Amino acid sequence: MPLIIPKKYHRKLLPETTEVAIKMVKDTFQTIFARELRLRRVTAPLFLLTGTGLNDNLNGVEEAVSFTIDAMGGRKAEVVHSLAKWKRYKLGAYDIAPGYGLYTDMNAIRTFEDLDNIHSLYVDQWDWEKTIRKEDRTLDYLKKTVRTIYKTLLEVEQTVYEKFPHITPVLPPDITFVHAEELARLYPDKTPRERETIFAREHGAIFIIGIGAPLSDGQPHDGRSPDYDDWISLNEEGYQGLNGDIILWNPVLDIPFEISSMGICVSPESLREQLKLRECPERSSLTFHRLLLEGKLPYSIGGGIGQSRLCMFLLHKAHIGEVQASIWPEDQIKACADAGIELL
């Protein structure tokens, strides 16, 4: 995505006040979020051993930052992309009962990301996972969970407004659900990104269901790893997918703004199907995949919520570098500075 410089952009908080606001947003969100979804915080790793299958494959093609460990005979480790599969493994290790779960402060390095208003080399998010029963693997349960998360977003937005009254709320009272196939039929001559733009602009906050499986035009709405959430199972509405993305309309940048990817996680059956469809059945021999296929991991629902993205959105910032310290191209730093966008 090319750098966006909003017309007549004026920062609403000085950098020093922004730092205070960032802490307030993060503290408030995770407190409410953990209470409403009944999650407990656990310590998260920054890197994992290569070959275990525990690191997130994201869209299945991105390469992780890796290094060798001298003290372990040169074994290879890699910096996490996310903790998508690790946290499900931990659910089982901690024997967390259905209806309860865990969350982490996840920090990752993604060297393949574009560097623009909403993408950074550094990724910080709340990775969360909750144990569910087999009978909870439904679209209704997914929607109920999405509404709970969205309610938390509304509460934190109100908290920001009460502390900084010049930052007025922009989120609608409810989130709108739509399946990726419905979007494709509504706008058959548009790209997935264009469909998101039209629908998010109209509704303000949307959850797109079924990201990963091929649609009627033969193409998926977007890429998705085959071994995390379930994008192949038929749901109650007759479409494929028990997963999706929370997308908000960002009025500062005038674009759709993904805040979370989440979903009901793969069952042994759907994992096998998704690995086959993506032509990587060999992954079934990796530690994580083998445990799941043998029924040794709990059924779960989970996802990731971008911390810097949330702060950026709620504080009405134009660039993610206004709420996190990272590395940016010199020309981008200058273009932002010229427009009054001060990167940390």
Enzyme catalytic residues: 56, 110, 125, 245, 258, 261
Rounded CA-CA distance 61/53 in Å is 14
As a whole number of angstroms, the distance between CA 276 and CA 206 comes to: 30
Nearest Cα residue to 110 out of 310, 326, 275: 326
CB environment 290-309: b (16+ within 10 A), e (fewer)? ebbbeeebbbbbbbbbbbbb
Q: What residues contact 7, with CB distance under 8 A and at least 6 apart?
A: none
Q: Find out whether 152 and 39 touch, Cβ atoms under 8 Å.
A: no
Identity of the residue numbered 37: L
User: Rounded to an integer, what distance in angstroms lies between the CA atom of residue 207 and that of residue 200?
Assistant: 9
Cα dihedral sign, 42-139-292-132:
positive
- Adjacent-strand bridge partners of 246: 207, 260
| 3-state DSSP of 165-206 | CCCCCCCCCCCEEEEHHHHHHHCCCCCHHHHHHHHHHHHCEE
- DSSP annotation of 2: -
Kind of pairing between the strands at 176-179 and 205-209: parallel
Tokens of 88: 């499900």
The answer to whether residues 289 and 281 touch, using CB atoms and an 8 Å cutoff, is no
